[in-house]
Amino acid sequence: MTATNILVSSAGRRNYLVGWFREALASNALEGNVIVADADPFAPSQVQADLFISIPSIGSDEYLPALLKICATHQVTFAVSVNDFELSAWSRLDRSEFLDMGTRLICLRAEAQAEVEDKYAMSPSLGGHDILVPPTYLGEDVLESPDLRERLGESIVIKNRYGSGSSGLTFATQDTLDQDLEEAATVVRDRLGALIPDRSAALQSLAVQPRIHGVEYGMDVVSNFTEEFAAVLVRRKIGMRGGETDQATSEPAERFTALGAKIAAAIPHVGLIDTDVIEDADGRLWLIDINPRFGGGYPFSHLAGADVPAAYVGWSRGLDSDASLLEYKSDVVAAKYLGVAVVGRAESR
């Protein structure tokens, strides 16, 4: 069997993910390398990689030729990214060029990617699959419509319509809504991450929702490499830092499995997608957000016993991955901490 080479692109600070893919090769008794590609020549994750390659930024004309060259030269079996803008670009590529050289890009199809990127479009689409999603309106529409404003209730959430993760998240009330929307419009960004100078366009790039109160969970929805739903990995959020889960406890999957299966049917995907779920006082599960990648919450499930990187490696080779790879212990509490790595030497002065 040929080597299994894995590309982790835009890995940034996610040293742990690179290390877990290296361990996955060993646990599957496969030879191969884990390659990190990043536009930052000092990306800390390179210290965990077998090979580090500096790649042009995603928006440059040199990016796609460089990505193709990496995959061809190093015979990459599959590639993952943890960067939302990169995954958006991958979804729109003609993947036949990559498949012809034996490389699978782990990303959504273009239509599904466009849907999950747009919180306004995602709400009615997923609601049509019997998934509870907060009703979502656009900023300027809310300012101009007393009816929409009334539907929001007293406790309100403002988000970047095309935001990554929790970007632009603001909690508002009816009394503060006008000012909060105007302030959010000055910093909101478009699909490509650029500031929007026009006030009307900026307001229409803000998603406004009634706030769902309850217990917050991170839930990974995992499907195999033929897009068949496989499992959910659930953790209850204890603490957040910079919009990412910082402390969490693993939770039993059973209550969330039906929701995970509905999400997998609504958004067919390969591998893992990261979601945010809130359980309200009546025990209803609301889907709040979707990120089609390894999110900041996955490490808590991994430390509780799940091993999605090992499942990826097995699936990439057409193996029936052990179901136990997607099982984990409940009530495992974990927390993140900082680390430092040497990533190079400064040029002589």
Residue with tokens 């990261």: 274
Q: State the pTM of this model.
A: 0.93
Give dist(CA 294, CA 116) in Å, integer.
15
What is the full per-residue pLDDT of the chain (349 aa) written as tens digits? Answer: 689 999 999 999 999 999 999 999 998 889 999 999 999 999 999 999 999 999 999 989 999 999 999 999 999 999 999 999 999 999 999 999 999 999 999 999 999 999 999 999 998 889 889 999 999 999 999 999 999 999 999 999 999 998 776 677 899 999 999 999 999 999 998 887 889 999 999 999 999 999 999 999 999 999 999 999 999 999 999 998 877 899 999 999 999 999 999 999 999 999 999 999 999 999 999 999 999 999 999 999 999 999 999 999 999 998 777 889 999 999 999 999 989 999 988 775 4
Place of tokens 């742990």: 16
